[in-house]
Structure 1
Amino acid sequence: MAIRLPRFLAPRAPREREDGDGRLRSWEWPLAALVSLLAVLWLGHAPLDTPYWWDAAAVYVPGSQWVRDNAFAAVPGVFPSLLGRGHTTLFYVITAGAFSLFGDAPAVGHAVVLIFSVMTLVYTYALGTLLFGRLAGLAAATLTGVAPLYLTISSMVLPEIPLTAFTMACLYEWARGRHLGAMVFGVLVVLTKETGLACACAILGATVLWSWKARQVAWRPLLTAGLAPMVVLGAFFVWQRVAEGWWVLPFHAELFEQEHDYFWSGVHTFSSMALADGRAVALFAALLVGGLRLWQSRETFGAYVPSPGAPPRWAVVAALGLVFLAYQVFFTKMWFLQRYALPAHPCLAILLGAALLPRVWEEAKAYAAVGALAVLATAGFAVERAEAGDDYASGETTFRYLHMVEAHREIFAVLEARADAPLILSSWPLSSELRDPSLGWVERPYEVVGVTGYLDGTDEIQRGRPIEAIVSAHGIGDHDDLVRVAEELGMRRTRRAAVGGAVVDLFEP
C-alpha cells in the first residue's frame, strides 16, 4: 500500500524553468563577485594588514620571496626543499608575482588569497545554479562562505584557497562541456598543490561512468580534464625525483607511512568536512528533505539539459561526490590538518543545497521552507563559532588565533619602544616574527636565540652575549623551558599581554 504524504508536503506540478538553462548571465558574474567579496569581508575576514602567521610566515611567504628574488625559478632542484616542502609550486609563483608588482607587505599577500576566496564562492554559486537553480547555488555558496575554517584560511597566505578555487572552476568548465577550460583549470589545480589530484580523479571516474552508461567513450573530457592533469603532475614528480632524489619530501613520506587508528582518523576527517561548525544540521536536513523529494517527486529538482559535449547532471553530481570521497580516503591515511581538505567543502555544499532547496519555491514550498531554515541555522551556528575553540597555535579552524596575534603585537610594541635592540631568547614562531620585519610584526630585525639551541649549546647567535629579554607565549613553542630559563637567569616578568585567553609574557633582568 502506497504511503501518501500530507497534502502540504506534496509538490505542485513542475513549472517551466524560469532561469533559462541555469547558466549565469554575463552581468551576474561581476555581481556575484562583488556580493561574495562584501560577504567575506563582513563575515570576518581578518584585516588585510594582519601580520603573516604560522605556516604562511614560516614557509609560503619566505618561499614566495625567494621565488621573486631568484627569477621565478620555482622548480625542483633549484627551489629550496625547505621552503617548497616537495609541493607543486604554482602558488609560490602567483604570490611572488604579486610581491614583485606591489611589494611583500601583509596586505598584498592577503589580498591575493582574498581574490581566490571570492573566486571559489562565485564558481560554487555558478555550478550549483547550473545544476539545480539559483536557490541551490546560493545555499551552496552560503554554506561554504560562512564556515569559520573557510574564512580563517581565506585570511592566510596558504595554497588551500587557490586550490579550492581552481577545483571549482575546473568542475564548472567540465560541467559546461568546455573541455579546454577544464583542462587548463585542472592543470592549475595540480600545480597549486598535489592533493588537487582528487579533482582529476573525480572527473576521470565520473567520465568513465558516463561513458559506460552512454555506451560510448567520452574521449575529450577523459583526456583533457581527467588525464592531462595527471600527466602534468606525474612529470613534476619525475623531475623532482631526478633533481632531489625523492618523489615526495621524506618528512611527508614518513607521515604517510605512520600507523594510526584508521577508524578514528576517518571519523575525524569526515567530521571536519561534513559535520563541523553546524554542517551537521544541513546534512541531516538534506538527507531528510532530499530523501523525501526523491521519493515523492524527482521533478522538484528541475529539468536539466546539458550543453553539447557536457556530462549529464548525474555525472557531475558523481564527480562532486568523488572529490569528497577522495579527500576522505586520503586523509584517513595521511596526517591531517583541516584546511587540507577544503576543496571538498564546496562540493558537499552544492549537494546539500540541491537537496535542501528546489529550483523554484512554488514547486515545493514546505520542503523549501525547511531547507531554507536549515541553511540559516547552519549559517548562524557557523557565525557563532567564528572565535570558538582553543586553537591558539595555528588558527586553522577559527579566528581565535587573532587573539594570539594581538598578544604578540602588544609585547613586540614594548620591545619596539626601546632605544636598543636587545638580544632575545624565544621559540618559534615568535623567533621568526622578530627576526624578519617583512612579515609585518616589527619595524626592525632582532637577534633571537632559539631556546632549543640555547639549551643544547648549538646556538651560534649568542656567542657569549647575555640574554637581555625572553618572550614566551603560553600554549605554543617551548613556554615551560623559557620560563625555567628566565628563573635561572634571575629575570622577572615585566609585561604580560592577555587577549581573549591568549597570553604572551616578556621577561627582563
Structure 2
Amino acid sequence: MTLKPSDLLGKYKYETLTALMLLLFLLYKLPFMALPYYYDEAWPYAVAIRTVHANGLSLLPTALDPELSRGHPVMFHFLGASWMRVFGTSLWSGHSFAMVISVLTAVFTYKFGQRFFSDRIGAVAVLLLISQALFISHSAFLLPEMPMALWTILCFWFFFRRKKVAFVICAAAMLLTKESGAVLICSLALSELVDFFMGKERKFIDLVKRELLIGYPVAIAFIYFLAQKIIYGWFLFPFYMNNLKSGLASFLEDLASGTAFIFVYEGRNGLMFFVLVGIIMLWLSKKVNIPPHQKKICWYLFSFVLLYIVFSTYNYYMPRYLTAVFPAFIIVCAFIVDSAFGKWRWVYPVIITGLAVTNIYYYVTATDHGDCDYSPSLHVAMKMIDHCEQSGMHDAHIYTTCVLRYDFNEPYAGFIKGKKFTHIDWQFGPGTQYCIFSSDENDPTEIDKIKRENKLTLETKFTEKDRWIELYRVEK
C-alpha cells in the first residue's frame, strides 16, 4: 500500500494529528532531559536502578536492599538498568527511558480509543492526556508511576482484544512493578462477575475461564512475593503496611483528597463540567444509541478508576500514585464528551482546545513543587550546590531540606561534581555552621523560628521565577 501525502490530512488525519502532538510534546521536554534527578528520582529510584546496573541484572528480591527498593518488586529497576546497559548511565539516558514509557502510554491511549471507539476519540484522549500537568511533569521522571500507567492501558488493550498471553505477561509485569497493580486484577475480576450476573444466557464455565485468565498473573507474581517472604520474612514491605489507614476519619480525608485530585484539581474541573453535562445530554437524548460493548468498556475502565482511588487513599497516599488511572479516566471522559458534543462541528473543537489550554495553564502557573514546571527548582539547587563545592564546604556542618540532603551526598542524583559532603544535618543544632532554606520544602514558620533564635548572615541567594534558595552562615 502506497501512502499518499493527501492521506495524512485525509484518511490518516487523526494519526497525523496525534504524531504532531507527541512531537511538540517531546520538543518541549528536551531541555528537561539533562537535568539532575528530582525528589524521589534522586533517591531511591535512580540509585536503585544504578545499583542493579552495577551489580548485575536480576529480577530476584535480592537484587536490591529493601530499604533501597522500598520493598517494591524490581521489574521497574530491572528494565531501567537494562536500558542503561544499552544507552549508558547518563542523566539523558535515565530521562529518555522514562520518556519512552510516557510516549508509549500516549500511543496506546490513542490505539485504545481508536480501536474501541473512534479515531477522533483516540486523538482527543491523547490531547487531554498529554496536556495534564501531572503527565507533563512526570513524563521524564525516573519513577514507577508512569510505567504503571503503561501496564494498565496495555492490560486493558489486550484484555478486550482477547489476547490472552499478552494480557498475562503485561499484568504480571504490572504486579512485579508495583503491588498496586493488584487493583486492576481485582477490578477486572469484579467487573466480569457483575457482567455475568447482569447478562443473559451466559454459561458459568465461561465466567470461570475468564476469572482464571485474570488470575494467572497473580500466580506468576506470587512466586516473587513468596521468595520475598522466605528471604526477608514479609510479603509486603512493613513500612507501607504500617501506614495503612487505621481510622475512618483519616481514610475519608484522603479519599476526599484523592477523589478531588482526579475529578477537580489541576484544571480537571472544566473537564468534569462537560462530562457531567454530556451525561445528562446523552441520557435525555433519544437519538444517541451507544453500542453495548462501548458501555461495557467504559464501565470496566471507570470501575477501575474508582477502585484505584479507594485503594490509594487507604494505603500510603500521594497524588502521584494515582498516575495509573489517567489513561483509563481520560478515555472515558473523551468518549462521553465526544458522544455529547461531537456533532457540533464548530463548537466541539473549541471545547476540546479550551480543556487542553486549561490543563496547560495550570501547569504553567502552579507554584507548588509537584505537577508543574519543576526546572526552576532544579536550577537554583544546582547553583547552590555548585557554590558550596566551589567554596570548599565539603566538611562543613550544613542544615538543609530533606531533598537537598540526598542531592549533596548522592553522586547518582546528578548534582555534585566531586566528592560527597560529609556533614549534611537533619536537624539544626549547636554544631550547625550553615543553613540552606528552600522555597520548595521549608515551612516558613520553621525558617522564622531558626532566624529568630540564632544569628544568621545571608551568604548567597539564587532565584528563578518564583523559586528561591538561600545559604546562611551561623554566627557563633
* Shared fold (TM-score, shorter chain, > 0.5): yes
Whether 1:267 and 2:252 are equivalent positions in the alignment is no
Q: Residue 64 of structure 1: CA displacement?
A: 0.8
Q: How many residues are paired up?
A: 458
Which residue of the other structure, out of 202, 205, 211, is the alignment partner of 1:215? Answer: 202
Is residue 242 from structure 1 mapped to residue 218 from structure 2 by the alignment? no
Tell me, in whole angstroms, the C-alpha distance in 2 between the residues paired with 1:356 and 1:186: 29
Residue identity matched to 2:352: V
**1:279 corresponding residue in structure 2:** 268
1:127, 1:172 within 8 Å by CA — same for their partners in 2?
yes
> Which residue of structure 2 aligns with residue 473 of structure 1?
438
* Inter-CA distance 365–356: structure 2 relative to 1 (3 Å threshold): same
Q: What TM-score comes out, normalization by structure 1 length? A: 0.81
Partner residue of 2:396?
423
Q: Which runs of 5+ in 1 are unaligned?
A: 1-25, 305-311, 457-465
> How far apart, CA to CA, are the structure 1 residues paired with 2:398 and 2:181?
40
- Tell me, yes or no, if structure 1 residue 177 matches structure 2 residue 162: yes
Question: 1:242-271 deviations in whole A, cap 9, x for unaligned?
Answer: 221222222211210443433332221111
* Unaligned stretches of 5+ residues in structure 2: 1-10
Match of 1:381 in 2: 358
Give secondary structure in 2 for the equivalent of 1:504. Answer: strand
- For residues 383 and 77 of structure 1, what CA distance do their matches in structure 2 show? 42
Shift of 1:469: 5.1
> Which letter does structure 2 place at the counterpart of 1:499?
E
Which residue is equivalent to 1:99? 84
In 2, Cα distance between equivalents of 1:388 and 1:254:
36
Q: Is the 8 A contact 2:376 2:465 kept in 1?
A: yes
Alpha-carbon distance in 2 for matches of 1:371, 1:270: 27
Matches within 5 A, 1:278-297: 278-297=267-286
Residue 221 (structure 2) aligned to one of 233, 236, 247: 233
Residue 202 of structure 1 deviates from its aligned partner by 2.2
User: Are the structure 2 counterparts of residues 220 and 85 from structure 1 closer, same or farther at C-alpha, using a change threshold of 3 Å?
Assistant: same
Query: Compared with structure 1, are the counterparts of its residues 37 and 221 closer, same or farther at alpha carbon in structure 2 (3 Å cutoff)?
Result: farther
> Quick check: 1:67–1:79 contact (8 Å CA) kept in 2?
yes
CA separation in 1, counterparts of 2:17 and 2:57? 33
CA offsets 1:45-69 (integer angstroms, 9 cap, x no match): 7610110111111111111111112
SS at structure 1 position matched to 2:243: helix
Larger CA deviation: 475-484 vs 76-85: 475-484
TM-superposition CA deviations, 1:385-442 (whole Å, max 9, x none): 11444423xx2x222x322211111212323434785535133321221223332212
Structure 1 partner of 2:7: none
Shift of 1:100: 2.4
Q: Please point out which of 397, 400, 406 is paired with 1:432.
A: 406
SS in 2 for 1:256: coil
Structure 2 CA distance for partners of 1:484 and 1:348, relative to 1, 3 Å: closer
Moved more, 408-417 or 90-99: 408-417
Deviations 1:203-229 (A, max 9, x none): 2223333444251225554333x1122
Alpha-carbon shift at residue 90 of structure 1 (Å): 0.6
Tell me the percent identity. 18
CA RMSD of aligned residues (A): 3.2
Q: Which residue of 1 aligns with 2:4?
A: none
Find the aligned partners of 1:105 and 1:43 in 2 and give their Cα distance.
20
Q: CA deviation at 1:92?
A: 0.6
Provide, for residues 421-476 of structure 1, a one-character-per-residue CA deviation record: whole Å limited to 9, x for no partner: 553513332122122333221211232313237739xxxxxxxxx87754332452
Cα separation, 2, equivalents of 1:491 and 1:268: 39
Does 37-46 or 402-411 show the bigger shift?
A: 37-46
Query: 2:380 is matched with which residue: 390, 407, 413?
Result: 407
What amino acid is the match of 1:130?
Answer: R
Q: Distance in 1 between matches of 2:228 and 2:129?
A: 34
Q: CA deviation at 1:31?
A: 6.0
Structure 1: how far apart are the matches of 2:316 and 2:78?
Answer: 26
- Select 1:148's aligned residue among 102, 112, 133: 133
1:452 maps to which of 391, 414, 426: 426
Structure 1 residues 477 and 76, CA gap change in structure 2 (3 angstroms) = farther
Q: TM-score scaled to structure 2, two decimals?
A: 0.86
The equivalent of 2:334 in structure 1 is 353
